[in-house]
Amino acid sequence: MATSKTNPTAPVTFDLPEDLLSKIEGVMKKKGFNSISEVIRAALDDCDFNSYKREEKDHKQISVRLSAKQRATLKRYSKSKGASVGELLRVAIDEMSVKGPARS
């Protein structure tokens, strides 16, 4: 479905997990859409945003003291992985809760 000159479009950039992008591509092939943009426009037209309820996890902001080396390591990985420092800290805490702490 091509957009007409009376209904111009504008670009919107956002990131998606790979599995969701695969779903979009599957819908595109199955339903005969010509582009990912068409799939997204159709999804927006069909979506019932009134019934949407955001799943929120309780968060609490904390402040911790790290060595200069740990802080530099976090910043380096944050840049190379394209992840926030907070996300990397959560990964480290999750891993520790599975493996157990390095010291007893």
* Domain chopping of the chain, boundaries: 18-51, 58-104
Choose among 61, 13, 20, 71: nearest CA to 43: 20
CA distance from start to end of the chain: 62
- Average pLDDT of the chain, as a whole number: 85
Residue 27's contacts (CB-CB under 8 Å, 6 or more residues apart) are 33, 39
Residue 41's contacts (CB-CB under 8 Å, 6 or more residues apart) are 1, 9
Does residue 73 have a pLDDT over 70?
A: yes
Provide the CATH topology of domain 58-104.
Arc Repressor Mutant (1.10.1220)
Q: What pLDDT shows up at residue 37? A: 93
Choose among 104, 103, 73, 65: nearest CA to 91: 73
Q: Cα 18 to chain center, whole Å?
A: 10
pTM above 0.75, yes or no: no
For range 22-41, the mean pLDDT: 93
Q: Check: CB of residue 40 under 8 Å from CB of residue 28.
A: no
